[in-house]
Amino acid sequence: MKVSCPHMGHLHWMLDDLFERLGVDYVKPPPTTTKTLTIGAKHSPEFACLPLKINVGNFVEALELGADTLIMAGGHGPCRFGYYGIVEERILRDLGYDFKFIMLEPFDDGKWAFYKTFESLSPGLSIRKLWKTLKASFSKGRAFDEIYKRSLQVRAYEVNRGDTTRALKEAEQVLVPAYTPEEIEEGARESLAIIDAVDQDLDREVLKVGIVGEFFLLLEPFSNFGLEEILGPMGVYIERSVWVTDWIAPNRDNKIYGFPKQLVEEKAAPYLSHNVGGEGRETIGSIVLMAERGFDGIIQLLPFGCMPENIATSIIPKVQREHDIPVLTLAFDEQTGRAGLVTRVEAFVDLLVARRGSKLALAGAATATDAATKQPSLSKI
Amino acid sequence: MDIPAKTGYLGIDVGSVSTNLVILDEHASVLAAIYRRTQGQPIKAVQEGLKELVALLEDQEIEVRSVGTTGSARHLTGIIVGADVVKNEITAHAVAASQVVPDVNTVLEIGGQDSKLIILRDGVVTDFAMNSVCAAGTGSFLDHQSARVGIPIEDFGSYAVRSESPAHIAGRCSVFAESDMIHKQQVGVAVEDIIYGLCHALVRNYLNNLSKGKELMAPVVFQGGVAANAGMKRAFEDALGMEIVIPTHHNVMGAIGSAILAMEMELEPGETSFKGFDVSGLVYDTSTFGCNGCSNTCEVVRIKVEGKTLARWGGRCGKWENEDAPRGRKRERASVGA
């Protein structure tokens, strides 16, 4: 049995660990590229959102590598996501592939079914062993989340462009072999130290931007054109509201984000008091939370046509007014171009700089021409 | 007696449809302005534009103190001419508008393939929106329709203002708007009313797409190529119930903005990176290749001048930009967002 699962940012590191512990042969889909999306978009319904198209592309590429068992997360609620596994299976069968398809429904929707799903992958697996395994893999997943989170902050201060990204790659490799709880703990410390060791100019004045929105767009850098790596070198310190392990975790602590769901929901309550599916409510709550914490601005990401985020988008103007915080909404689909994104993000950063009313020592060269560009005065704008 | 050379600031805006160049004097007044079609050849458009600019200035001696570029080809143009500041068009347009109308609160800008709405308060941009996903209602569409009804785009506006009862045109989608217009023609609606109806549809579409929840306060400045269309001005005035200001140089505001940004750098004479007007005579060659440095396989653009690599850019990590960065004197680097 060769098992595969679609990509979602750095989730694959945790799956590596999980499947190794379960003794399952894991076929990691090739990294998501434009080719993946082209395959996915070709075979998916046009009106389906970007994540589904990328999932389908990942599945096709994994099947081509010999995967015979595909796992897709399920779910329930007003968002289409819970339905995607079913649609994806249908698409792949219509394409003539032969495989076993497993929908992994959330733990809270049935503990026994959840256990049986894993037991079918790893026959003879006891509940106790599954629990221990998940706990260990989760702690490793959290360690990965932590280094990514730290990199978003360090990148704003890096002296040499690209150093943080290079350090991140190195840190990942330190964590990969960690297996026992002690090794994971040690690896977490060591990998964070690698990120912290990046040459930084801590006197630099940076902008603080929060990234909120639909989970897949936040977690998968391919889907947002590596937005964080575009913003970071402009001298933007980033926090985001969704992390891989927070999103998967059955509890509601948001350990990586640092703010439990209950608090986020309370912050959203004056504007949106009930769940509208996806991260609609969390988006509103996080904007309020980040505004209160003194962020300069917020960027909301959503796949084009995303219902929960569209609800949030229509509420945002009111939140923006009452909390005096600029919000840039960016919708993505397979037609989205990088140039248009960069233009909007650049203009948004200009806006934030002007609001600060100061000349930020924005550093790093994000474009070719920057080599020949000096710091302009920002007095006018 | 030698007449000392005048100080000038060059701004270049290379967009999808038009390429605009301006030279400002030190009081930000326009000394010369060029508006020409890009026609899918940004390098050639810039080179020809520079030649036209020289011709327009005739015997005036101009010492270019600094240069700014903007528009979708801002990076490419910046490399060719040697720009001191490379800025996105949203910022450039806002800067230009607040120069012309210092207390401006709202900027409507409709260009060839994009439309922008910029909200300012006390001279500072506080919010903006730019069309995404859909480009119905931009200049290209008007261009196309004028060709179809056989009325030159320059005269489109004068037809629109003659209309007394605009036809209702479905403006959500360009293609459907077109079929609706054909239908209206076939049932005998006057061409003036159709054209003005189209202006209304475009304004409706613009406001629906961009103004979502934003407060549009006077003074409102309308700029970009489409502002030349008197019908669009009238339709905006109808829809917003307020007077719309159209600056004299409405079609080159992006270039004016980038020239002002260049001026604000306050460079000393000779400090500019400007390569001179002679670049219009050089042969440039652009190509792309896939970088194999990692699994992202980014598409990297390479530009050569007279066979020598001038610059490479486009990857996510900045590796190629870094490699081509000038050695020796370490310059204070500004980011794209700076």
Q: What is the pLDDT of residues B254-296, one digit of tens each?
A: 999 999 999 998 888 888 989 888 888 888 888 888 888 776 6
In a shared domain, residues A234 and A146: no
Contact B261 A360 (CB under 8 A): no
Is residue A68 one of the residues assigned to a domain? yes
Chain A residue closest in CA terms to B211: A317
Residue A379 counted as domain residue: no
Domain-embedded: residue A97: yes
| Residue B13, Ramachandran bin (φ over 0: left; ψ between -120 and 50: alpha; else beta) | beta
Q: Which residue of chain A has the CA closest to B259?
A: A376
- A-B interface: how many C-beta pairs under 8 angstroms? 205
Rounded to the nearest 10°, the torsion over CA B194, B196, B200, B203 is 120
Is there a single domain that holds both residue A13 and residue A47? Answer: yes
What is the token pair recorded at A290?
A: 């980040």
Regarding whether A325 and A226 lie in a shared domain, the answer is yes
From A143, A170, A201, give the residue that closes a domain.
Answer: A201
Nearest to A376 among B90, B123, B334 (CB): B334
Q: Are residues A231 and A210 in the same domain?
A: yes
pLDDT bucket at A214, cuts 50 / 70 / 90 = very high
Shared domain check, A288 and A341 = yes
At residue A65, what are phi and psi to the nearest 5 degrees?
A: -90, 0
Answer whether residue A151 is part of any domain: yes
In this structure, are residues A175 and A143 in contact, taking their beta carbons and an 8 Å threshold?
Answer: yes
Is A329 inside a domain boundary? yes
**Could you give the CA distance from residue B100 to residue B78 in angstroms, rounded to a whole number?**
25
| pLDDT for position B325 | 55
What is the average per-residue pLDDT within A209-231? Answer: 94
CB pair distance less than 8 Å for B326 and A33: no
* Token pair recorded at residue A138: 């989760």
A215 plus A358 within the same structural domain: yes
**Chain position carrying tokens 């061409």:** B191
Tell me whether residues B132 and A31 touch, CB distance under 8 A. no
Residue linked to tokens 């917003």: B240
Q: How many domains does chain A have?
A: 3
Judge whether B116 and B138 are in contact, CB under 8 Å.
no
Which amino acid, one-letter code, is at A23? G
Check if the beta carbon of residue A347 is closer than 8 Å to that of residue B88.
Answer: yes
Write the burial class of residue B74 (CB in 10 Å: 0-12 exposed, 13-18 middle, 19+ buried): buried
Same domain, A257 and A329: yes
Q: In chain B, what residues touch A375 (CB-CB under 8 Å)?
A: 265, 332-334, 338
- What is the rounded distance in angstroms from the CA atom of residue A116 to the CA atom of residue A100? 15
| Nearest CA among B169, B88, B83 for reference residue A350 | B88
Residue B273: partners with Cβ closer than 8 Å, 6 or more residues away = A372, A373, B67, B82, B83, B84
Closest CB to B332: pick one of A165, A368, A375.
A375
Distance CA A156, CA A159 (A): 9
pLDDT of B304 higher than 90: no
- Cβ contact, residue pair A364, B333, below 8 Å: yes
Question: Residues A280, A301: one domain?
Answer: yes
- Per-residue DSSP letters for B154-220? HHHHHHHHH-SS------SSHHHHHHHHHHHHHTT--HHHHHHHHHHHHHHHHHHHH-TT----SSE
Interface with A, mutate which of B93, B117, B127, B132 (most A CBs under 10 A): B132
B95-148: per-residue pLDDT in tens?
A: 999 988 989 999 999 987 788 999 998 888 888 988 766 666 678 888 888 887
Q: What is the DSSP string of A267-283?
A: HHTTT--S--STTHHHH
Q: Could you list the residue range(s) of the whole structural domain that residue A12 is in?
A: 2-124
**Would residue A378 count as lying in a domain?**
no
Rounded CA-CA distance A376/A381 in Å is 11
In a domain, A45, yes or no: yes
- CATH for A307: 3.40.50.11900
Q: Report, in this order, helix, strand and coil percent for chain A, each rounded to 5.
A: 55, 10, 35
Report pLDDT digits (tens) over A346-361. Answer: 999 999 998 887 444 4
Q: How far is B331 from chain A (nearest CA, A)?
A: 7
Domains, chain B, ordered by start: 6-84+265-336 (3.30.420), 102-246 (3.30.420.40)
Amino acid A115: pLDDT:
94
The answer to whether the CB atoms of B336 and A377 lie below 8 A apart is: no
* CB A152 within 8 Å of CB A221: no
Quote the ipTM score. Answer: 0.79
Asked if residue B69 has pLDDT above 80, the reply is: yes
Q: Do A373 and B334 touch (CB under 8 A)?
A: yes
Task: Please check whether residues A251 and A325 belong to one and the same domain.
Answer: yes
Same domain membership, residue A366 and residue A321: yes
Residues A330 and A247 in one domain: yes
- Taking the Cβ of residue B261 and every Cβ of chain A, the question of whether any pair is shorter than 8 Å is answered with yes
Whether residue A218 sits in one domain with residue A290: yes
A38 reaches B (C-beta below 8 A): no
Residues 304-363 of A with CB under 8 A from B: 304, 314, 316-318, 320, 326, 330-331, 333, 335-336, 339-340, 342-351, 353-355, 357, 360, 362-363
